[in-house]
Amino acid sequence: MPREHESSCLARKLGTYVELSSSDRDAIARLEKEEMHFAADAVVRRRGEAIRHLFVVKSGWLTSHTDLCDGRRHVIQTYHAGDMIGLSDLASHRCNATLTACAESVLCPFPKNALDEIVTRQPRLSALMLALSARDQEVLIDLLRANARMGARERTVFLLLMLYYRLRLTSDDETGCLSCPLNQTQIGDMIGLTNVSVSKCLVDLERSGLIARDRHRIRLLQLGTLERMVEFEDRFSRIDTTWFPEPERAAA
Amino acid sequence: MPREHESSCLARKLGTYVELSSSDRDAIARLEKEEMHFAADAVVRRRGEAIRHLFVVKSGWLTSHTDLCDGRRHVIQTYHAGDMIGLSDLASHRCNATLTACAESVLCPFPKNALDEIVTRQPRLSALMLALSARDQEVLIDLLRANARMGARERTVFLLLMLYYRLRLTSDDETGCLSCPLNQTQIGDMIGLTNVSVSKCLVDLERSGLIARDRHRIRLLQLGTLERMVEFEDRFSRIDTTWFPEPERAAA
DNA sequence: CGCATAATTGATGGTTATCAAGACCAGTGG
DNA sequence: CCACTGGTCTTGATAACCATCAATTATGCG
């Protein structure tokens, strides 16, 4: 269990939630056999394509989005090192969203039916995937609440907090500092605003002393205040694993 | 496999997606041993409470919602016969939303760690639950898109379509008829509108000949037109089960 | 330096919230 | 049968908020 010099970033991320057995680790390693490299702005897969595989993110930044018929865009989610892409597509035959690399990225593709093996042989991993899928739902619900019931300023704050806590899992930052390659149009497309409104909100937040900016880095100066502003809850640093099956005793 | 005179409505609903083995059926039956009855407007559980169990809905109509600090409300989801409540809370120790019966309802509670057994012994059910969780995500994503990028009229149409297809699973209606106990305030709380706007949109849709209303019944007169209006996709009638593990051969 | 992309700023208009008043409806009790 | 009541729905007037448009400035890159 050499968690520090872990080769797989998926195992590292999952390992923050539960103790992984060596057979769990083997199963995870099998998901990461292959590697695909993508340049910034490369499209990994398009909405409507048949789903060939799921991905583990080894490094990089990706987003998934759909385009509306009137030309506007809805950015659904961002993905980062250690994330699994495609849990939300498990029920579909076709991709529901276009997946794009916003920065140079490395992905490990694995076929959908590799999950078959996990579901039959690795009960703890199955439980973990269910829990992660539930966590993703919680995040979507929070976003939905922000979109449906908050003004532009609060929605912007909400997104910054979400990105911050999401990235903190791998970045280990404690200072409220956040590095975000998304431009303001993309940010707006995540929270139902135009690039113009996002700009105005960010300028305003900066003038209010709540955030500071330098290029693509944003620093959240008063985390507590910001969190109270939008009733934010961190969904990322912990999940409930108490209901998981016992780890297997055997196997070294 | 007497699917017609099925005693469990969960088994009936799940059975529309996959063939269930008798041991799957036993496992499902174990989830439905207990029954709790709730009157209309009864609160089943409140946001912030410890999660004692998940529920299978035997009959009725329920909603989950959160209240914002400014008094506004966000209605997240509706639940109906055969639905499983709590998949989105699996990652949390505490309830993220208040669950209310909008109509007289019967629920079967089962403890969170009953999933332990499913995950270790029933690979096909585990796969199915993962797929259902993914489906719930898709629905949330669709809702998010509607909230973030559509106007009031389109959002209203979207919600009606979603409710229609969701209910059609159990109601077998083909005529576009939809019976909805939610008042316009609750409808608005699902799509980020006020009761006033909902009223205006419904009146407008009715005048345009797209829907007809009679008390709590709404009839969608031009399903195709309405669907095209919001690029609607039915997430309920089918899910991808091709990646599921083979059903066990043994056991009668 | 020069170009393309991104961010900022201000003016204007559309959409929806808000507020308030009235209509409708079902149930209750006189 | 009718008046009363509480809830829901409808309608119109006003205001807040954000989108849209357009012009300018800043930033990044060859």
Q: What pLDDT band is residue A232 in, cutting at 50, 70 and 90?
A: very high
| Average pLDDT value for residue range B14-29 | 91
Counting one residue from chain A and one from chain B, the pairs whose CB atoms sit within 8 A come to 184
Q: Which residues contact A246 (CB under 8 A, 6 or more apart)?
A: none
Is a pLDDT exceeding 50 seen at residue B212?
yes
Asked if B133 and A130 come within 8 Å (Cβ–Cβ), the reply is yes
Asked if A112 and B76 come within 8 Å (Cβ–Cβ), the reply is no
What are the respective helix, strand and coil percentages of chain B, to the nearest 5? 40, 20, 35
Question: What single letter denotes the amino acid at residue A130?
Answer: L
Average pLDDT of chain A? 92
Is a pLDDT exceeding 90 seen at residue A152?
yes
| Average pLDDT value for residue range A200-215 | 95
Which residues of chain B have a CB within 8 Å of the CB of A113? Answer: 242-243
Q: Which residue of A has its CA nearest to B74?
A: A145
**CA separation, residue B213 to residues B153, B154, B204, B206, B218 (Å):** 16, 18, 12, 7, 5
In the prediction, which pLDDT does A106 show?
94
Q: Which nucleotide is nearest to B216 (CA to C1')?
A: D8
| Out of B92, B135, B243, closest to residue A112 by CB | B243
pLDDT one-digit tens code per residue, A18-64:
999 999 999 999 999 999 999 999 999 999 999 989 999 999 999 99
Is a pLDDT exceeding 90 seen at residue B96?
yes
Asked if A244 and B112 come within 8 Å (Cβ–Cβ), the reply is no
| Average pLDDT value for residue range B38-48 | 94
| Out of B68, B87, B131, closest to residue A231 by CB | B68
Is a pLDDT exceeding 90 seen at residue B252?
no
Strands A217-220, A177-179: pairing kind = antiparallel
Between residues B173 and B145, which one has the greater pLDDT? Answer: B145
- C-alpha distance from A234 to closest chain B C-alpha (Å): 11
Query: Where is average pLDDT lowest: A3-17, A71-85, B77-91, B212-226?
Result: A3-17
Query: Where is average pLDDT lowest: A119-133, B123-137, B172-186?
Result: B172-186
Strands B211-214, B217-220: pairing kind = antiparallel
Is a pLDDT exceeding 50 seen at residue A71?
yes
Average pLDDT of chain B? 92
| Average pLDDT value for residue range B74-94 | 96
| Average pLDDT value for residue range A166-181 | 87
Q: Which residue of A has its CA nearest to B113?
A: A243
In the prediction, which pLDDT does A251 show?
45
| Out of A96, A124, A240, closest to residue B141 by CB | A96
Between residues A160 and A248, which one has the greater pLDDT? Answer: A160
B105-111, strands of its sheet edge to edge: B36-38, B105-111, B53-59, B84-85
Which of A16, A24, A77, A92 to probe the B interface (max B CBs under 10 A)?
Answer: A92
Which residues of chain B have a CB within 8 Å of the CB of A71? Answer: none
Query: Where is average pLDDT lowest: A58-72, A74-88, A171-185, B70-84?
Result: A171-185
Strands B98-101, B43-45: pairing kind = antiparallel
Q: Which residues contact A158 (CB under 8 A, 6 or more apart)?
A: A142, A143, A146, A150, A191, A230, A232
Q: Report the alpha-carbon distance of residue A88 to residue B139 in Å, rounded.
A: 10
Which helix (H) or strand (E) element contains residue A53? strand A53-59
Which chain C nucleotides are covered by protein, judged by CB under 7 A? Answer: 5-11, 15-20, 26
Strand C-proximal residues, CB under 7 Å? A 183-185, 195-196, 199-200, 202-203, 213; B 72, 151-153, 188, 192-194, 196-197, 215
Between residues A3 and B91, which one has the greater pLDDT? Answer: B91
Which chain D nucleotides are covered by protein, judged by CB under 7 A? Answer: 7-13, 17-22, 27-28
Which residues of chain B have a CB within 8 Å of the CB of A240? Answer: 51, 90-93
pLDDT one-digit tens code per residue, B52-68:
899 999 999 999 999 99
A177-179, strands of its sheet edge to edge: A177-179, A217-220, A211-214
**Spatial CA neighbour of A159 closest among A206, A193, A203, A131:** A193
| Average pLDDT value for residue range A155-159 | 98
Helical H runs in A94-122?
A: 114-121
The sign of the CA dihedral A203, A207, A211, A213 is positive
| Out of B96, B133, B191, closest to residue A141 by CB | B96
CB B71 within 8 A of CB B115: no
